A and B are shown apart, each in its own frame.
Chain A
């Protein structure tokens, strides 16, 4: 039994969700290998080789994988899939894009977004936006799995000394091609990796008012998020969205401001260790999951909070 973890990276650094995915692989047991498919990405392979608990790094360094598009990446994974009992990727937009394609190429039924490993073939996963948790048992010979990163504590990024084996490109496809990317630049921590997140909802009333959250975020070293309502209203871009269809976060502290608490939003943050809700509607559902609720007008509460931190 051995597990292949598909690394998420930007050709320079390994993305943190990879470490949580390796943690899930460790629970399954057996040797853990990491595949790095990218372009000019030797530094990522070096980083992966140092990850605790990794036995081998497989590197495919080729311009075909510059943007890790689904068609070529899935074909490449397929070419080495027979060596593994489990193939895991983080349940990020990268993993969600590539892994189901691989799964169909292998004729196996993928298990999406697991939150717990019960045994080598049995897993827990949320369904209905996290309203229920299903335990499922797979009978496929190769288990293809995406992992909800927040459900597994990351392994150490150092302490390992895996060997690096290079393999050549296989099954390169020209069905799709990269045009461009608009990646948000920010000095604040990444939403999914931050230990404190402060999010705004429709109650923020405008994108300009998000500066009230940013001031507090900068004092706390926090990331800024938003509810779907705030993104749909155009206050902030899509990469801010916390929720079932956005990012899943589980920081030490989550502060929800002007967010009513629709189930889609709760699904993305209710595993946070401490939840604070600030809302002027005392009946807002967000208070049902909050450890500390403050019924107040956010336009008074936020400046006061900024002052006291």
Chain B
């Protein structure tokens, strides 16, 4: 079966992001970019399904600017067979991204779509669920275990109270949580090989979708800072402060 893995280029998770001086947006000048960590988990899962003989082809897709090709090459180095960039000059909202991905899926007809549960930039946690709705596919979000049996997938999901297992008919959309797997690192030979793999660029304008923004970003600011705390010297002093100063225990 064919697996499609949508990925996203985001600010590297180690970067401490700050607002621009005029608070019009976040400051992304000269920051390191990387593949969203949840997307790495999605690629890894798809590649493992291929290595297990369940999947036959893994296609990495992204919707973004031309520089997103860098992350698609990473996906190819990690084991994806080919890649598609839906190129857009502007940054799109999750709904527009889901619409573009739906067009790619209609053209490629994968049996399974695996993507990260959220991107660590906007923290929206929307694209997978929206994609499932647009295609009228079943969805299994926040997956920590996936097993494919015939024309359905059994997926264990991380929910607030613990774990839930559901069965979804294929084709389906699965979004990855942290503990689904531990992604591998790309080896140098695989990075070299990835340069020769197919990377198809499709302009978003040719897709005939409404990608106009529905939200306006008014401002970006730092969160309210906490007042500086103090160091206590002993457990006894700590308990005293909590009882008498903070009054949070009695």
User: Residues of B contacting A301 with CB < 8 Å?
Assistant: 235
Q: Is there an interface contact between A136 and B95, defined as CB atoms closer than 8 Å? A: no
Query: B129 touching A137 by the CB < 8 A rule?
Result: no
Q: Which residues between 163 and 216 of chain B lie within 8 Å of chain A, taking CB atoms?
A: 163-169, 172, 177-179, 213-216
Complex CA gap A309/B249 in Å reads: 9
Distance A180 CA – B11 CA, assembled complex (angstroms): 37
Contacts of B249 in A (CB 8 A): 196, 220, 253, 309
Does B69 reach chain A (CB closer than 8 Å)?
no
Q: Let me know if B139 and A135 touch, CB within 8 A.
A: no
Chain B 118-148 interface residues, beta-carbon cutoff 8 Å to A: 118, 120-134, 136-142, 144
Q: Is B98 an interface residue (CB 8 A)?
A: yes
For B221, the chain A residues whose CB sits under 8 A away are 132-133, 135
Interface flags, B18-61, vs A, CB<8A=1, else 0: 11000000100000000000000000000000000000000000
Asked whether B93 lies within 8 Å of A109 as measured between CB atoms, the reply is yes
CA distance A70 to B250 in the complex (A): 44
Given A107-B95, A122-B218, A135-B218, verify A238-B229 contact (CB < 8 Å).
Answer: no
What chain B residues lie within 8 Å of A107 (beta carbons)?
A: 95
Taken together as a complex, chains A and B put the C-alpha atoms of A104 and B126 apart, in Å, by: 9
> Contact between B217 and A112 (Cβ–Cβ < 8 Å)?
no
Assess whether B230 is interfacial by the CB under 8 Å rule.
yes
A294:B94 contact, CB within 8 angstroms: no
| A276 in contact (CB, < 8 A) | yes
A:37-72 near B, CB below 8 Å: 67, 69-71
Q: Is A188 an interface residue (CB 8 A)?
A: no
Interface centre among A122, A127, A139, A180 (most CB of B within 10 A): A127
- Cβ contact within 8 Å between A128 and B120: yes
Q: Is A202 in the interface zone, CB < 8 Å from B? A: no
B89 CB-CB contact with A under 8 Å = no
Report which of B138, B159, B232, B242 forms a contact with A293, defined as CB distance below 8 A: B232
Per-residue interface assignment for chain A, residues 78 to 111, with 1 indicating a CB less than 8 Å from any chain B CB and 0 otherwise: 0000000000000011101111111111011111
Shortest Cβ distance from residue B45 to the other chain A in the assembled complex, whole angstroms: 17
Residue of B128, B139, B216, B236 with highest tally of chain A CB at under 10 A: B139
- B223 lies within 8 A of A130 (CB): yes
Number of interchain pairs (Cβ within 8 Å): 257
Secondary structure of the A side of the interface? mixed
Query: Chain A residue with minimal CB distance to B16?
Result: A131
Residues of chain B with a CB closer than 8 A to A137's CB? 215-216, 218
**Is the pair B220, A290 in contact by a Cβ cutoff of 8 Å?**
no
A101/B139 in contact, CB under 8 A: yes
**Given A109-B94, A127-B220, A139-B214, A275:B235 Cβ within 8 A:** no
Other-chain residue from B128, B159, B166, B229 in contact with A93 (beta carbon distance below 8 A): B159
Is residue A113 within 8 Å, beta carbon to beta carbon, of the partner chain? yes
**Bound-complex Cα distance A35 to B169 (A):** 27
- Complex Cα distance A126/B17, Å? 12
Known: A128-B26, A196-B248. A134 touches B220 (CB 8 A): yes
Q: Select one of A136, A238, A296 contacting B144, CB under 8 A.
A: A238
Q: Are A104 and B139 in contact (CB-based, < 8 A)?
A: no
- A136 CA to B94 CA in the complex, in Å? 14
Q: A252 contacts the other chain (Cβ, under 8 Å)?
A: yes
Judge whether A182 is part of the interface by a CB distance below 8 angstroms: yes
**Do A109 and B214 touch across chains, with their CB atoms under 8 A apart?**
yes
B158 lies within 8 A of chain A by Cβ: yes
A295 at the interface (CB under 8 A from B): yes
Given contacts A100-B94, A128-B11, A253-B249, contact A110 B232 (CB under 8 A): no
Answer yes or no: B162 CB below 8 A from chain A CBs. yes
**Cβ of B219 under 8 Å from chain A:** yes
Q: Which residue of A lies closest to B141 (CB)?
A: A97
Residues of A within 8 A of B238 (CB): 276, 292, 294, 305
Given A133-B221, A176-B169, A293-B230, A181:B133 Cβ within 8 A: no
Q: Does A157 contact B (CB under 8 A)?
A: no
Contact in complex: B218, A136 (CB < 8 Å):
yes
Given contact pairs A104-B98, A128-B11, A287-B229, A274 touches B161 in the complex (Cβ within 8 A) = no
Could you list 14 further interchain pairs (A-B, Cβ under 8 angstroms) beyond the known A110-B126, A132-B19, A308-B236? A70-B129, A97-B141, A109-B214, A113-B123, A127-B26, A127-B123, A128-B120, A134-B219, A173-B138, A178-B166, A184-B161, A196-B249, A228-B178, A282-B231
A-B interface, 5 closest residue pairs, ranked by CB to CB distance from nearest: A175-B138, A100-B129, A104-B130, A104-B133, A109-B214
* Residues of B that sit less than 8 Å from A by CB: 11, 16-19, 26, 93-95, 98, 117-118, 120-134, 136-142, 144, 154, 157-169, 172, 177-179, 213-223, 226-227, 229-232, 234-236, 238-239, 241-242, 246, 248-249
